[in-house]
Amino acid sequence: MKKLLLPAILLMGLALNAQQKEKIPAAKGVVYGQVSKNETAAIAPDEIKAKLVDNQYEGLIKAKVVEVCKAEGCWIKVQKNDGTAMMVRAKDHAFLMPENIVGKTVLIEGAATVKEVSEEMRRHYAEDAGKSKKEIASIKGSEKDVQFAARGVKVLD
């Protein structure tokens, strides 16, 4: 019985290791996930609210990355014209983005919705971003905001 158990455990470990997603360094032309549409159809993050139909927008945005999840690379924040940032999550954690994506202009394909983000989730995002304990503790209450679930991110520069 022990002879059967050890190979089974080793095979499971190898299978789990193979499932881990690789983070490819950000460089011009690199695509995380899938981006199938043309860049000319992209809008700025600030334009999404005007394009919402039934609280949804499906399409492309073009923006500069200002922050990335330091824990896994499963989300980024992109800059809006008013100086604030919009959260962009990799849909279903389908891909991961590297830390060197910060400062890059990207094309993002996916869907936006206006969502209520709980205080707990806001603190979780701050922790993932490597914020200080003081900054995390200062986060109070929930916040309603546009969130983007990305099917893919393409680095433009």
Residue 2 lies in a domain: no
The structural domain count of the chain equals: 1
pTM, whole model, 2 decimals? 0.78
The predicted pLDDT at position 5 comes to: 52
User: Residue 60 carries which side chain, given as an amino acid letter?
Assistant: L
Residue 58 lies in a domain: yes
Residue 7 lies in a domain: no
Residue 151 lies in a domain: yes
Residue 18 lies in a domain: no
How distant is the alpha carbon of residue 83 from its chain centre?
19
Q: CA-CA distance, 115 to 156, in Å (whole number)? A: 28
CATH number at residue 84: 2.40.50
Residue 107 lies in a domain: yes
Residues 6 or more apart whose Cβ sits within 8 Å of residue 152:
31, 32, 33, 34, 35, 36, 95, 108, 109, 110
Residue 105 lies in a domain: yes
Residue 133 lies in a domain: yes
Q: Are strands 56-68 and 105-117 parallel, antiparallel or unpaired?
A: antiparallel
Residue pLDDT, tens place only, 17-56:
444 466 789 999 999 999 987 788 899 999 998 998 888 9
Range of the domain at 32: 24-155
Q: CA-CA distance, 156 to 88, in Å (whole number)? A: 17
